[in-house]
A and B are shown apart, each in its own frame.
Chain A
Amino acid sequence: MSNNLNRRSAIDPAVADILAGAERKKRIASLPKAERAKARKEAARHKVGLDLPPDLHETLRQIAGKEQVSISSLVSFLTNRGIEDYKAGKIELYTYKRLSRCARFEYVLTFAPNDD
């Protein structure tokens, strides 16, 4: 059929996310009634999926290991500090913005300030 076409092996993260959600719902529905509420509560824990550059993810993993904290905890802490700095005007995002080619957003942020 399509033997000569190269097939990618990795599943699109967004598709995997959808399938995982469906699988979780199916699993909860199969539990005894008494356990469903607890499982739903557990599933409703606030989880978000964000795109991170692989290098940054690795750095977070290393720091979390060194400090013996979870990556989620470390990201929450550092993000909170960043937000405080942003609110205090210590971080000006405009120097890090460049035009995005994505329809949803005007800009993307770079790690190094733009010269122009």
Chain B
Amino acid sequence: MKIITIANQKGGVGKTTSAVTLAHGLAMTEHRTLLVDLDPQGHVAFALGAEKAPGLYRLIVDEDPIDQVAVQARENLDIIPGDKRTEKAKRTVVISNFPTEILSRILKHADYDVVILDMAPSLDVLHVSALMASDWVIIPTKLDAMAVDGVNEVLRSMGEVVERGHRLGYSILPTFFDRTTRETIVQLQALVDTFKGRVWPPIPQDTHAREAPAYGKSLWEYCSKSPAVMGYGTSLVAGYASTLKRTVEVICE
């Protein structure tokens, strides 16, 4: 089982869209997938047309087993939904004996091929606990200076986790890519100069990605041929189809 965290402390960079799209994509490619919402906004359930619920709260505070809390959202795809009670769960984590290991302990016996953790835009104890449980981190980022700074913050947290002896890989996923804007290209070039092959092909800015959650559909269901999924232009080099392919490579490593 591989555990992949989607993280960036900056909000609005496409974390939940990426988490939901990749989780459903993996499920469609025959990977039994669990998507865990660690954000009190509870948007994972919303995006898949399910009800917000205190799933993470029940796992952490009530210590209910995963199979009792998980909700089937699609074939091969279960979710642990979140809601505002996730915030209360964080307080339980803080006062627990081994706060940074709580998610590792909970997920250790999860019977899935892949677990995707959708983080809240914050750097708290749950965030560190998620990194400690993870094999790989995907860091979505808009291509602007503030969002790219958020990448650095995540990498600092990851550095602390690595210093504790935990092995962790990562990739950077540029989102809201607008090829007509000079700043976008400048920031992409800066990311590539710094992080080289860690930078995955970008996700084009695409209104479909904003519309799909309103219908409770994933991008694969709502618009599988849209730029956000397939990239744009004649080369079709970017988009979530490309991200999914690289994620499968990570899982198979």
Which of A's residues lie within 8 Å of B, judged by CB?
A: 1-12, 14-19, 21-22, 48-49, 101-104
Answer whether A49 and B237 are a contact pair too, CB < 8 Å, given A15-B201, A19-B188, A102-B248: yes
A11-B155 Cα distance, complex, nearest whole Å: 19
**Smallest Cβ-Cβ distance to A2: which chain B residue:** B155
Determine whether the beta carbon of A4 is less than 8 Å from that of B200: no
Q: How far is the CB of B205 from chain A (nearest CB, A)?
A: 14
We find that the number of chain B residues with CB closer than 8 angstroms to chain A is 38
Which residue in B29, B197, B235 is a CB contact (below 8 Å) of A12?
A: B197
**Smallest Cβ-Cβ distance to B152: which chain A residue:** A1
Which residue in B162, B169, B200 is a CB contact (below 8 Å) of A15?
A: B200
A61-B36 Cα distance, complex, nearest whole Å: 48
A39-B8 Cα distance, complex, nearest whole Å: 41
Which one of B11-19, B71-79, B103-111, B239-247 is at the interface?
B239-247
Determine whether the beta carbon of A103 is less than 8 Å from that of B192: no
- Taking CB atoms and an 8 Å cut-off, the chain B residues in 214-231 that contact chain A are 220, 230
B197 / chain A contacts, CB cutoff of 8 Å: 8-12
A18-B174 Cα distance, complex, nearest whole Å: 12
Closest 3 CB pairs of A and B: A8-B197, A14-B237, A14-B201
**Smallest Cβ-Cβ distance to B245: which chain A residue:** A102
CB of B202 within 8 A of chain A?
A: yes
Q: How far is the CB of B220 from chain A (nearest CB, A)?
A: 7
Answer whether A104 and B188 are a contact pair too, CB < 8 Å, given A11-B196, A12-B199: no
CB of B92 within 8 A of chain A?
A: no
Per-residue interface assignment for chain B, residues 154 to 184, with 1 indicating a CB less than 8 Å from any chain A CB and 0 otherwise: 0110110011000011100000000100000
